[in-house]
Amino acid sequence: MPRERVQHGKSYPIHELSGGGGEAAGAYSDVTPSLDIEWARDPQGRVQIAIEFSRERWMAIAKDLQDNSVVEARAIYTESLDRRELNHMIRTLRRARDAAYGADE
């Protein structure tokens, strides 16, 4: 099953501040989600879009939802797609559509 990454997650540092003095108590990095498109030409045809990031990030979102009963849904976003990434996604989606379902006439 073909899979193509449209946008790679971007890594950036996050600093946790200690109480009081404002000095960094510790630093760690996080990665924004990556965006992938997968497709398969099976009897039904199939195209899927995947957003992927670390287990720690998924667990933090799950904990946030569990701890806050007011939140009913949560969206997950990639970084903003630039023009090149958008064009890449459009080309990839067209290729995936044609491979999975056949070309439009």
Residues 76 and 73: their CA atoms lie apart, in Å, by 10
Exposed / middle / buried, residue 7 (Cβ in 10 Å: 0-12, 13-18, 19+):
buried
pLDDT tens digits for range 1-60: 888 888 887 766 655 544 444 444 455 556 788 889 999 988 888 999 998 888 888 888
pLDDT of residue 17: 44
pLDDT of residue 57: 83
Task: Give the residue numbers spanning the domain of 34.
Answer: 3-101
* Residues comprising the chain, all counted: 105
User: pLDDT band for position 92 (50/70/90)?
Assistant: very high
| Total count of domains within the chain | 1
Of 51, 41, 37, nearest to 4 by C-alpha is 37
